[in-house]
Amino acid sequence: MLFFIIGFGFGASALTFAVVRQSFPIRESGLVSGFANTGGFLSAVLLPGFFGKVLDHFQSVSGTMTEGYSYGFIIPVIFSLIGLFGVSTIKEMRQPESVEPESSL
């Protein structure tokens, strides 16, 4: 069940670049794609550090790591909620419809 949930959520990461392409002018899409790609790697760098700080805190305060893991696994949920908030603020940029020239027959 866990692998199903992970696989279901991981498919959305491929949509990032499609959303970026539709949401920004074409001349800015490279810059914004790089920024969006940085976000995923930034969370991969920050999450283990935050998780370790939470585990260290609970080990020194209560002496048990079980409670630390319970709170530690909330951190990815918080990051996901921040991402969900970011997705909800995206506005699609409408591309101008091309008008086909009328033929004079």
| Residues 71-102 pLDDT 10s | 888 888 888 888 788 878 877 666 566 556 56
The predicted structure's pLDDT at residue 62: 66
105 has a pLDDT exceeding 60: no
Q: How does residue 57 score in pLDDT terms, banded at 50, 70 and 90?
A: confident
Rg (CA), the chain: 21
How many Å apart are CA 41 and CA 56, to the nearest integer?
24
pTM here? 0.62
Residue 57's closest CA among 44, 43, 67? 67
